[in-house]
Amino acid sequence: MKIIAIVGPTATGKSALAVKIAKKIEGEIISADSRAVYRDMDIGADKVPGSWEADRIKGKAHRFFVYKSIRHHCIDFVAPQRVYSAADFVQDASAAVSEISARKKIPILCGGTGFWIDALTRPGLLSGVRPRPKLRGRLEKKSISLLAGLLKQLDPGRFETIDLKNKRRLIRALEIAVTNPKIRLPAHYGLPATEHKILYLGLDLPNAELKTKIARRFTKQLRSGLIPETRKLVTMVSRKRLAEIGLYYPIVSKFINGKISKAEMARLCINAAYRYAKRQKTWFKRNKKIHWLKDAVQANRLIKKIL
């Protein structure tokens, strides 16, 4: 089975490229974005502006998220109150790969959540460590800086790529590190390498250009209604959950509550997105199978080669 994975930091044009490729090769897109999975987070997650449409497959009714005539999977279907994990993604994305392939289409993974993509394409990567409520309770009482310091000692590799301001993810990483890092989920979690050939295409930009693009995109997101969207979201989730969702939303909520100015909000949001992009770069640079693209011509050449 052949799969294309389009990866890279935020604001590099992955979604647009994925749609172009999908139209050219009759593919369908599987979103690998840890925020785009949630409903009611369209603008802040920079979700493609698709819509849900009904269709029938083998006599059964199905609903698909469609953007520019291309079906998208693993997107816009989870309530923001619910925590959607990497294991959830692997299960849903694996099912989507099978479903797309059964219809003689090409699955196209597209997103910047590197851990999710690795968990899907490298079976056994996910740890099978079960939640430990007592340990979590103790860690919850610690400061974020202390948790980050502990993780740096126990798992330096994960420390380099994790969102150091996301307390929930820090606690989960520590939970795995101190329990038994050798425990793994069963082999069926993920796509067996013996059955799938994956072409990794990477998009990136020089840091200065990337930050400029992030700033322009944020200005557009503000004009599109990021503040009203955040106002709605804060009525739906707790303050703790908002912090777990991360990136723009906790910062914009501070502006809504009058704690920071609009200019300060913009500066903090742009910096947060840029730091996130740099973590994404660090993560993806470790995958030596990624073909970092210079232009669309190179992308087309590589796609023809694998197909």
- Give percent above pLDDT 70 in the chain: 88
Q: Which of 62-76, 100-114, 130-144, 274-288 has the lowest mean pLDDT?
A: 130-144
pLDDT at 168: 79
What CATH class has 2-125+184-306?
A: alpha beta
Per-residue pLDDT tens digits for 169-213: 788 888 877 765 544 444 344 565 545 789 999 999 999 999 999
Dump the DSSP string for the chain.
Answer: -EEEEEE-STTS-HHHHHHHHHHHHTEEEEE--TTTTBTT-TTTTT----EEEEEEETTEEEEEEEETTEEEESSS-B-TTSPPPHHHHHHHHHHHHHHHHHTT-EEEEE-S-HHHHHHHHSTT-S--PPP-HHHHHHHHTS-HHHHHHHHHHH-HHHHHHS-TT-HHHHHHHHHHHHH-TT----TTSS--TTT-EEEEEE----HHHHHHHHHHHHHHHHHHTHHHHHHHHHTTS-HHHHHHH-THHHHHHHHHTTSS-HHHHHHHHHHHHHHHHHHHHHHHHT-TTEEE-SSHHHHHHHHHHH-
Per-residue pLDDT, 128:
58
Mean pLDDT of 156-170: 76
Domains in the chain: boundaries: 2-125+184-306, 133-179
